[in-house]
Amino acid sequence: MIVKIKNQKALWLILPVFVLVAFSSLIPLMTIVNYSIQDIFDVNNAYYVGTDWFREVLADPRLRDSLVRQFGFSASVLLIEIPLGIGVALMMPKSGRLASLCLVVLAVPLLIPWNVVGTIWQIYGRADIGLMGSALTSMGFDYNYASDPVDAWLTVLVMDVWHWTSLVALLCFSGLRAIPAAYYQAAQIDRASGWSVFRYIQLPKLKNVLVIAILLRFMDSFMIYAEPFVLTGGGPGNSTTFLSQTLTKMAIGQFDLGPAAAFSLIYFLIILAVSYVFFTTITQMDKER
């Protein structure tokens, strides 16, 4: 950790970054705040409505449903991806060419544009032309992600696991690599079982990495948009419509500016809270290091 010196002139170095990000962040945010407390018909006819939109939004069953669905989705994603990611990282070879190869293969899903991820699973999952779809159908499952809500939900979930478990695995792998060999030698001398090596050596060392992984996965799954949009279009019905899509529908599809803005602010506050947890955890870790 570098000892930093006090120097107010350093603000000048930040200025370009601040201006660029503020342009795309503060102005739209203020616009949203503006929309969320007014009823706007045109430029000259805007009426202050106070917290009406917020009350309307919080009482809207459509939004509550998509919020519940979103939390359910994020929770299932975390419950599957974190253990699976740890498992994959543990199974990987520790070093050498094979390890590099594994790293690159793992990274492939992460480098695919999000809408193409949706396209891939669309092609893969359809019963008529897809490998997975036709395999499941020929095994006797009544599988159709376009008409059955449960199938659709499961497909989106498997797609997300496919897409993002690699991230958890990569983070855990670099966490495991940081454990000194002496720890394992000591465990061998003590005749520790494989489980206790994992429980008392690897897991504690993975703690920091896992916190980052959980937070990142929560954030990313919380803003998922393009993949389910392409795969299922949010359907059948609303079964795979998550927060971002509900919001986009409201703002751009139906042009309900007031409620959409109020909803945006609530969404933003949730994100802000999680970001804060992320930030304090990270700075705490930097200090310990």
Partner 1 sequence: MKMKKGYTLGLSLYLVFLLLPVYWLVVMSFKTNEEILGQLTLWPQTFSFDNYVTIFTDPSWYMGYINSMTYVAINVVITLITALPAAYAFSRYNFLGDKHLFFWLLTNKMSPPAIALLPFFQLYSSVGLFDTHIAVALAHCLFSIPLAVWILEGFMSGVPREIDETAYIDGYSFPRFFITIFMPMIRSGIGVTAFFTFMFSWVELLMARTLTSVDAKPIGAIMTRTVGAAGVDWGLLAAAGVLTIIPGCLVVWFVRNHIARGFALGRL
Q: Which residues between 9 and 38 bind partner 1 (CB under 8 A)?
A: 9-11, 13-14, 16-18, 20-21, 23-25, 27-29, 31-32, 35
List the structure tokens of 235. Answer: 């359907």
Contact range with partner 1 by CB under 8 A, out of 75-83, 143-151, 198-206, 245-253 = 245-253
102-126 burial: b if 16+ Cβ within 10 Å, else e: beeebeebeeeeeeebbbbbbebbb
Name which of 31 and 51 has its Cβ closer to partner 1: 31
Q: Candidates 154, 257, 262, 287: give the one binding partner 1 (CB under 8 A).
A: 257
Nearest distance from C-beta of residue 285 to partner 1, angstroms:
7
156 touching partner 1, by CB under 8 A? no
Residue 139 binds partner 1, judged by CB under 8 A: no
d(CA 270, CA 149): 27
Q: Which of 53, 54, 73, 124 binds partner 1 (CB under 8 A)?
A: 124
Nearest to 269 by CA among 36, 16, 14, 92: 36
| Shortest distance, position 204 Cβ to partner 1, whole Å | 16
Within 13 Å and on the Cβ side, how many CA atoms surround 40? 18
Q: How far apart are CA 147 and CA 126, in angstroms?
A: 11
Residues within window 74-103 making contact with partner 1, judged by CB under 8 A:
87-88, 90-94, 100, 102-103
**Which one, 153 or 210, has the nearer CB to partner 1?**
210
Distance (Å, rounded) from C-alpha 134 to C-alpha 138? 6
153 or 222, CB closer to partner 1? 222
Cβ proximity to partner 1: between 75 and 123 the closer is 123
d(CA 240, CA 148): 11
